[in-house]
Structure 1
């Protein structure tokens, strides 16, 4: 009878109760013994994770126009449609089309190639750091914010997340201004500032409507935009061989322009680092795939494969534009004519289409990912006062209020800036955010080593044999869930533990303890190195001050003030996985070792006084509770430190 009842429960039509297939599978699969308190949301209040919402209206009950366009359908994407496409259309942006020639004229071909490689290398370190974090812990919605908050804590995540959103909004303004410049010149308005700004504002409004329509339409549009971008790049490469325009400075490959343009010739006010600051924003969209983490089928595998493929393709396209322009064009025209790439191409209309698409696509990615980062911060109540930004609409929880907030910031910078002035402003938030991602992976790896060394005590059989401890005490298993995990790994089973999940409900912890996985053996895992990440974090901070020290100080100050505000207004935010690692303590121990002093992580042993005629036993104090570490020890106990303690004695 019991077996028949189980079979009937598996055949329940969950759709009758408003539950989709994914939700039903999650309900049936919840046999791990843990009590699921997360309902349809991820840990910490992230976006809905179920395939359908309860009592969602059926598509057949609404008009076709509303069903097809204005209700976003819950859909998950993979490596190529969700990550590769989003990353590539964001890193192959307007700066490549409009400023590649100017960069060559200022820095020369050699230094321009170095700027491209330095930009890609700087971003690649952060990509590998983010990939390492995705491999070693779970990834939910929230993108860059979730990566930092899950590792370093919500306090750091909230302060850096706001700065990242600001940089994305300003970057969106930069891209649509490039679109406005080219469109104004095309329709005969020249360099009229008001015409450029009006066209840019209209573009932002159009992209906002597309984002409201839903992620499915965003992905479909991105495929078409990416195809146009690739055709524009191919048209430029072919045109450099078959087309010349002497009047506009395009002399072709047979000229000696490559030799003339090889070395730098900076104008007043510009240097290698300022030119680097102008070019760097073109690579800032490389983490767009991570921002889509809530809409991916398998984020831990989709993000690494798609992101690394996109950055490889983007680097090749960067080098093609730099080298081909330097080899075919006169330096004076490269400096003054921002549309010279269109004169090199075989079909100038196709390259103009690529320019428009690059502007729109980069802004489209920013308008999609940035509001969702804001939404995640608001949903977790990290920063008091912005809770309304967490409001979502439809099964995919489209963040309408967050989109409006990002659009307002974008409009403001459209009205006050141009491409050359906005590029350094965009660079600073990204560099600081990427530096924190690098440090997050370093801290995560260091924390894993600390926890691994600490957890080795559970493997020491001599400790269990020497001390009289109730090894199968369910109370200890409830207080320290890692004991249960270690017993499972070692193949142990408690003789007093229940034999079924139902009988084990009384001693089961409410939720599993967050766990840092060891480094897997994927083809890219060896590239994720903690020391490279630490070097990348320090390098990005250094570059910030070289590009513009005033902007760098302003960004760091703003993040620090928001960090202080969160600590004061909301001190009970979630800690991160890397809380066991303390950077200053690590630096102190490292300096002591460099000075020749011995630094050892000692274990603490509580030794009780010996009284004649009274039998006492010693016990090992594994950890001190931080809440009580400052209180005095009572009960006639003393703390003895020793590096090697003979347990049998």
Structure 2
């Protein structure tokens, strides 16, 4: 009887479709996500929603009975990447883009070698400040999926992050249109339709559709393709460098190193309508993909270390390649050829086909990175319900939550700007959203560092030494009378035992909770992250926006402000940032007053027990009569004391 009963119970359990309740197979468990949009920490992910401990996706075909085509072409397990395969590759193929191949010669022809080098170094310096700011944020607080949006929203608040995140996605989509237009130009010229704008646009749209299919297949195929693209790019760069030494082509304006072109091309010769800042605006979009590694934060093994190492290494390699193209073209080519022939670097190279392959790959790779990271930023904004009405964009497919609807939105915006036209027209439009986003990241790190100091000073004020003689029997009796005291001691790091040694009990005991902003780490790049450099970078980027194109700049700032107002009206309960304690205007006012020699009298309000005889106090009840405290005795008594700083002049 017992065996029959157990068999019936077993059969009954086997008949239950547990997948209806989200408790079925491993794939069903991995599909669960919490309301904040990050992966449920109870499955294969660890703390932060980005750490996988389950089976490796690369060997998925050996771990199940899925068909061969599904296991080889679609993701069946979450995939995580490291510094070189995830961050370095993504950043380098994004910053070594189509503008380097098609506009380096034109930039040298307009600005000259000296000013072109200055433009390159200034562009890299401007981006480097934002990279160091992002690195500082990564090592001082947690990083989860969402990329640039998460960095800004986690620091400055979801309201500010949502408005900047939308602008960043717009800039990425326009940048994608710029890159595929470069691909369309070169391909149309190759097949004999270089004068047809519709041929260029048709090829560009076909490229966007192809890259969208690759993104739908999954991040594994994106990374595998990026390795191949990076190899072709570096080969094309090497082909260009070798070609400048081994041959000449006088008919196309390539005279070689033995000519005096380096002297003739040394100084600027701007055509009407162009200046240093407009040429800078054309070149700047080539560096806009420098934060693409941050957009992969949800697919990295250790974002806090992978992002800094990979991003800084890619930026250094990209800077070297920029300078090679500028100097080599300026020293070997005639100025007229530099201004008129956008593909003159092809004539310099040894193997024209290899260089053209690098040109095509640079266009495709930059677009591939933009189409991978941008939809995931949109997905994070939608999943956190920051902006009402776009919740459907948070829908994802598969274990890595591929954002299909967000990809469609990005593709539509890209198609729209493909019809606008030319690279020189789109480049300034791309520059503005990225400059404003990078300025926000710079300010976010400054505010984060200032908030850490505010919290640290507050913690130090409320520290008190706890000696052995202070731990008395009265303390133990209070613990027994009020058990929650023990829990609060544990949260504060205090010892609940009276057997602690005097050395242990002489330590400083905080009475405020632990903060979620860490001090600077001891990594090789930590000392490069400086809050004052970040503040300078934020102001510098705003100034550059106005100098490059002031009405584009005002349009971007106005758009962000309007979205910020909309979020505050439609969704006022969004999460504040961890750096929200810092108030820039208040800090600036105090700084100005101190600079002119005025004393700043500040006060703070504290809660204290009424144990001081002869001191007039005002009683305050901390716990109110509500449903949260129906059974608690009223043993909390407090008082409010306001203290003022009094200065006595000698």
The TM-score, its normalising length taken from structure 2, stands at: 0.83
Please tell me whether the aligned partners of residues 603 and 643 of structure 2 are also in contact (alpha carbons under 8 angstroms): no
- Which SS does the other structure have where 2:419 is aligned? helix
Deviation at 1:459, TM superposition (A): 2.3
Which of 206, 213, 219 is residue 209 of structure 1 equivalent to?
A: 213
Q: How far, CA to CA, are the matches of 1:374 and 1:610 in structure 2?
A: 55
Corresponding residue number in structure 2 for 1:369: 373
Corresponding residue number in structure 2 for 1:641: 644
- Which SS does the other structure have where 1:416 is aligned? coil
Corresponding residue number in structure 1 for 2:518: 517
Q: How far, CA to CA, are the matches of 1:113 and 1:57 in structure 2?
A: 50
Q: How far, CA to CA, are the matches of 2:212 and 2:543 in structure 1?
A: 36
Is 1:493 equivalent to 2:503 in the alignment?
no
Query: Does the C-alpha gap of structure 1 residues 451 and 465 become closer, same or farther in structure 2, counting only changes over 3 Å?
Result: farther
Please tell me whether the aligned partners of residues 48 and 397 of structure 1 are also in contact (alpha carbons under 8 angstroms): no
Please tell me whether the aligned partners of residues 47 and 397 of structure 1 are also in contact (alpha carbons under 8 angstroms): no
Q: How far, CA to CA, are the matches of 2:64 and 2:41 in structure 1?
A: 30
Deviation at 1:527, TM superposition (A): 0.2
Q: Deviations over 1:230-262 (max 9, x none)?
A: 000000000001111000000000000000000
Corresponding residue number in structure 1 for 2:547: 546
Deviation at 1:597, TM superposition (A): 1.1
Q: How far, CA to CA, are the matches of 2:239 and 2:611 in structure 1?
A: 88
Q: 5 Å matches for 1:29-40?
A: 39=42
Q: Deviations over 1:529-576 (max 9, x none)?
A: 000000000000000000000000000000000000111111111111
Q: 5 Å matches for 1:102-117?
A: 102-117=106-121
Query: Does the C-alpha gap of structure 1 residues 436 and 449 become closer, same or farther in structure 2, counting only changes over 3 Å?
Result: same
Count of paired positions: 581
Please tell me whether the aligned partners of residues 169 and 406 of structure 1 are also in contact (alpha carbons under 8 angstroms): yes
Please tell me whether the aligned partners of residues 144 and 291 of structure 1 are also in contact (alpha carbons under 8 angstroms): yes
- Which SS does the other structure have where 2:643 is aligned? strand
Corresponding residue number in structure 2 for 1:12: none
- Which SS does the other structure have where 2:108 is aligned? helix
Please tell me whether the aligned partners of residues 432 and 540 of structure 1 are also in contact (alpha carbons under 8 angstroms): yes
Q: Deviations over 1:215-244 (max 9, x none)?
A: 011101000100000000000000001111
Deviation at 1:616, TM superposition (A): 7.8
Corresponding residue number in structure 1 for 2:599: 598
Q: How far, CA to CA, are the matches of 2:430 and 2:292 in structure 1?
A: 15
Unaligned runs of 5+ in 1: 1-15, 24-35, 498-511, 626-633, 645-649
Deviation at 1:137, TM superposition (A): 0.4
Deviation at 1:494, TM superposition (A): 1.9
Q: How far, CA to CA, are the matches of 1:133 and 1:386 in structure 2?
A: 28
Q: Deviations over 1:297-324 (max 9, x none)?
A: 1101000000000000000000000000
Q: Deviations over 1:326-345 (max 9, x none)?
A: 00000001000000000001
Q: How far, CA to CA, are the matches of 2:609 and 2:490 in structure 1?
A: 30
Q: 5 Å matches for 1:239-638?
A: 239-461=243-465, 475=484, 484=490, 487-488=492-493, 492-495=494-497, 515-599=516-600, 601-604=602-605
Is 1:171 equivalent to 2:172 in the alignment?
no
Deviation at 1:71, TM superposition (A): 3.5
Query: Does the C-alpha gap of structure 1 residues 493 and 257 become closer, same or farther in structure 2, counting only changes over 3 Å?
Result: same
Please tell me whether the aligned partners of residues 83 and 309 of structure 2 are also in contact (alpha carbons under 8 angstroms): yes
Q: How far, CA to CA, are the matches of 1:442 and 1:620 in structure 2?
A: 39
Corresponding residue number in structure 2 for 1:5: none
Which of 81, 87, 91 is residue 91 of structure 2 equivalent to?
A: 87
Q: How far, CA to CA, are the matches of 1:601 and 1:41 in structure 2?
A: 50
Deviation at 1:359, TM superposition (A): 0.3
Q: Deviations over 1:40-87 (max 9, x none)?
A: 59999978967489xx99974443212211335411111000000000
Query: Does the C-alpha gap of structure 1 residues 419 and 43 become closer, same or farther in structure 2, counting only changes over 3 Å?
Result: farther
Q: How far, CA to CA, are the matches of 1:519 and 1:635 in structure 2?
A: 37
Deviation at 1:580, TM superposition (A): 1.1
Which of 121, 125, 128 is residue 132 of structure 2 equivalent to?
A: 128
Q: 5 Å matches for 1:163-242?
A: 163-242=167-246
- Which SS does the other structure have where 1:639 is aligned? strand
The TM-score, its normalising length taken from structure 1, stands at: 0.83
Deviation at 1:199, TM superposition (A): 0.2
- Which SS does the other structure have where 2:644 is aligned? strand
Deviation at 1:150, TM superposition (A): 0.5
Unaligned runs of 5+ in 2: 1-22, 31-38, 500-512, 625-636
Q: How far, CA to CA, are the matches of 1:450 and 1:636 in structure 2?
A: 24
Q: Deviations over 1:506-533 (max 9, x none)?
A: xxxxxx9760000011110000000000
Query: Does the C-alpha gap of structure 1 residues 610 and 392 become closer, same or farther in structure 2, counting only changes over 3 Å?
Result: closer
Query: Does the C-alpha gap of structure 1 residues 642 and 57 become closer, same or farther in structure 2, counting only changes over 3 Å?
Result: farther
Please tell me whether the aligned partners of residues 72 and 213 of structure 1 are also in contact (alpha carbons under 8 angstroms): no
